[in-house]
């Protein structure tokens, strides 16, 4: 399953908006660098996380009411009583994974989900699709062992539990059914991710081939200086970092945050992919809020291309505040969210080139729309110097020129730091 497009009405900060997402096989347009990636940019409060929530609601609306999901502040505020309803229309592209090889069902499906508010209470309901085989779709969604409708989502407060905090899956499923649990981090803050040691040893015991496949994918997803060793120390797996063997819990926050969600994704792929199918061939949708979370700028330059090319058949929808991440994509991959004059969020795509620009150029472009990247105090100083220079103060004019040209000349070779190598095979530019 992929999400082709989404219409949103009266959901949180949105009055009325729509978005046509990228997915594998959809576009051969040269303006789209990675055909399986959509990236959402925008100021805080513009609705990036809400779009991810809307995708989850639109796909899983049929089963969320019986899955442990509790709607909370989803309907747009300040609506008249008769308007107090949010609507999400999700238009999906289905695969044989979702409806069966021999199913007469069309490969397109439109879901409508309503969130209704009465006083302080919200309820969710879906409008059944208008075709005779609608029960097939519902049965697949209710069957948690089915590989159909694979959807996984990660919120911005994600973190990895340690072994002492981890609760076995059967206990977790008493509160949240599996399909909602896969996206619960988008709706619930501080929801911990399962550590590798809680599930990968079982995979190794049941299928050495699947374990080898997961280990290989994990190493493809890691930065050059890190490597998954596949060995355990106590209840934690070991990683090699800069030549030193380190348990997962001893790695930095950045590594653990990144390894946490990519390993959780591999777990869900291994659980939600038909037997005999490679994980790399799995179809589904992955939503990640703040893809750059805790990542050093060096890795921000590579993370999206690496993830997208390692798992090319998954549809990824990311959000970010990082101009470095944005610069790894092209205009066709990027959606800019903003606020209109009435305080409602809008979604648009720009035609301005972005791929390959440096961070300063991107921040000053319409994608981020900053007036300057300088600190406020520095801006005030420059304005003061400019005023004095225009009044005839030659010393202020000279100081002004010195200030605005500081750092524009490349450092002498002897003063530059060591050049870091990147992986050209993973992040080639056109």
Q: What is the pLDDT along the chain (430 residues), one digit of tens a residue?
A: 999 999 999 999 999 999 999 999 886 655 578 999 999 999 999 999 999 999 999 999 888 888 889 998 999 987 766 668 999 999 999 888 777 665 556 688 888 999 998 888 899 988 766 554 566 677 777 777 788 889 999 999 888 877 666 665 555 555 788 899 999 999 998 778 888 988 899 999 999 999 999 999 999 999 989 999 999 998 889 999 988 999 988 888 888 889 999 999 999 998 877 778 899 998 999 999 999 999 999 999 999 999 999 999 999 999 999 999 999 999 999 999 999 888 899 999 999 999 989 999 999 999 998 988 888 888 888 888 888 989 888 898 898 888 888 755 554 444 434 344 444 334 333 3
Question: Cβ distance 163 to 195 under 8 Å?
Answer: yes
Contacts by 387-394 with C-beta closer than 8 Å and gap 24+?
none
**Ranges of each domain in the chain:** 2-156+171-188+296-363, 194-282, 376-406
Looking at residue 198, its pLDDT comes to 87
Cβ-based neighbours of 393, under 8 Å, separated by 6 or more? none
Cα 370 to Cα 300: distance, rounded to the nearest angstrom:
20
Cα 408 to Cα 401: distance, rounded to the nearest angstrom:
12
Q: Residue count of the chain, please give it.
A: 430
Looking at residue 418, its pLDDT comes to 39
Of the candidates 185, 15, 18, which has an alpha carbon nearest to the alpha carbon of residue 86? 15
Could you report how far apart the first and last alpha carbons of the chain are, in Å?
29
Among 1.20.120.1760, 3.40.190.10, 2.40.50.140, 3.40.50.300, name the CATH number for the domain at 2-156+171-188+296-363: 3.40.50.300
Looking at residue 400, its pLDDT comes to 84
Q: Is the dihedral of CA 299, 354, 45, 176 positive or negative?
A: negative
- Across 60-198, where does the E strand assignment appear? 85-93, 108-118, 121-127, 151-154, 159-160, 192-193
Other residues' Cβ atoms within 10 Å of the Cβ of residue 130: 7
Confidence (pTM): 0.88
Looking at residue 214, its pLDDT comes to 96
**Percent helix, percent strand, percent coil in the chain, to nearest 5:** 35, 20, 45
Looking at residue 58, its pLDDT comes to 94
For 258, the token pair is 């990144």
Looking at residue 39, its pLDDT comes to 98
């Amino acid at each position: 399953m992929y999400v082709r497009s989404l219409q949103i009405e009266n959901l949180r900060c949105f009055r009325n908006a729509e978005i046509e997402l990228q997915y594998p096989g959809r576009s051969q347009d040269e303006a789209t660098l990675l055909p399986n990636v959509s990236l959402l940019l925008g100021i805080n409060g513009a609705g990036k996380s809400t779009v991810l929530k809307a995708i989850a609601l639109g796909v899983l609306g049929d089963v969320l009411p019986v899955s442990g999901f509790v709607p909370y502040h989803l309907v747009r505020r300040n609506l008249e009583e008769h308007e107090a309803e949010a609507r999400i229309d999700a238009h999906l592209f289905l695969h044989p994974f979702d409806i069966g090889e021999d199913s007469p069902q069309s490969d397109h499906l439109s879901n409508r989900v309503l969130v209704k508010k009465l006083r302080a209470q919200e309820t969710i309901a879906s409008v059944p699709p208008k075709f005779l085989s609608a029960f097939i779709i519902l049965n697949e969604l209710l069957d948690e062992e089915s590989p159909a409708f694979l959807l996984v989502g990660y919120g911005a407060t994600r973190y990895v539990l340690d072994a002492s905090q981890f609760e076995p899956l059967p206990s977790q499923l008493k509160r949240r059914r599996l399909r909602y649990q896969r996206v619960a981090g988008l709706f619930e803050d501080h929801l911990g991710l399962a550590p590798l040691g809680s599930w990968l040893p079982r995979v190794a015991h049941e299928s050495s081939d699947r374990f080898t496949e997961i280990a290989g994918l994990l190493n493809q997803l890691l930065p050059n200086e890190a490597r998954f060793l596949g060995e355990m120390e106590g209840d934690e797996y070991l990683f090699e970092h800069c030549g030193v063997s380190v348990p997962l819990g001893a790695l930095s926050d950045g590594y653990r945050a990144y390894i946490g969600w990519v390993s959780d994704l591999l777990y869900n792929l291994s659980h939600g992919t038909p037997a005999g199918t490679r994980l790399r061939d799995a179809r589904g949708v992955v939503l990640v809020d703040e893809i750059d979370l805790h990542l050093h700028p060096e890795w921000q330059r590579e993370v999206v291309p690496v993830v997208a090319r390692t798992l090319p058949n998954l549809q990824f929808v990311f959000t970010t505040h990082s101009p470095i991440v944005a610069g790894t994509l092209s205009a066709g991959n990027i959606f800019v969210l903003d606020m209109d004059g009435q305080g409602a969020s809008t979604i648009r795509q720009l035609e301005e080139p972005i791929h390959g620009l440096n961070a300063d150029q991107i921040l000053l472009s319409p994608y981020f729309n900053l007036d300057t990247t300088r600190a406020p105090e520095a801006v005030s100083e420059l304005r003061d110097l400019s005023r004095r220079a225009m009044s005839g103060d030659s010393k202020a004019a000279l100081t002004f020129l010195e200030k605005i040209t500081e750092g524009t000349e490349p450092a002498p070779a002897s003063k530059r730091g060591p050049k870091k190598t990147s992986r050209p095979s993973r992040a080639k530019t056109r």
